[in-house]
Amino acid sequence: MLPLQQTYAQALPELCVPWRADLPPDPEIVWLNEPLAAELGLDLGRLRGPEGMALLTGQIDGTIAQAYAGHQFGSANPQLGDGRAVLLGELVDTSGRRVDLHLKGSGRTPFARAGDGKAPLGPMLREAVIGEFLHATGVPTTRALAVLTTGERIAPRQGVTPEPGALLVRVAASHLRVGTVQAAAWHHGPEVTGRLVDHVITRHHPSADGPLGLLAAVTGAQAELVAQWMLLGFVHGVMNTDNMALSGEGIDYGPCAFLDVHRDQAVFSSIDRSGRYAYGNQPGIALWNLSRFAEALLPVIDAEDPQHAVDAATEVLEGFEPAYLAARARGLAAKLGVTGGQDEVLALGEDLFVLMEAQSVDHTGFFRALSAGGAEALFADPEPFRAWAARHEALHDPSADGPAARANPLYVPRNVQLDTALRAAHLGDPGPVLTFLDAVSAPFEARPGLAHLEGPEEGGDRFLTFCGT
Query: Known catalytic residues?
Result: 242
Q: Please report, for residues 36, 114, 135, 358, the alpha-carbon distance to residue 143 in angstroms, rounded to integers and kept in the order given.
A: 8, 27, 8, 35
| Whole-number Å distance between alpha carbons of 299 and 290 | 16
Reduced to 3 states (helix: H, G, I; strand: E, B; else coil), residue 207 is: coil
Cβ neighbours of residue 124 closer than 8 Å, sequence gap 6 or more: 104, 105, 144, 147, 166, 167, 168, 468
Counting every residue written for the chain, the total comes to 469
Name the residue type at position 359.
Q
DSSP 50-108: HHHHHHHTT-STT-EEE---EEETTEEES----TTEEEEEEEE-TTS-EEEEEEESB--
Cβ neighbours of residue 318 closer than 8 Å, sequence gap 6 or more: none
H or E element, residue 146: strand 143-154
Cβ neighbours of residue 15 closer than 8 Å, sequence gap 6 or more: 8, 66, 67, 68, 180, 183, 184, 188, 192, 196
The 3-class SS string of 326-390 reads: HHHHHHHHHHHCECCCHHHHHHHHHHHHHHHHHCCCEHHHHHHHHHHCCHHHHCCCHHHHHHHHH
Residue among 418, 408, 395, 392 nearest 446 (CA): 408
| Whole-number Å distance between alpha carbons of 215 and 301 | 10
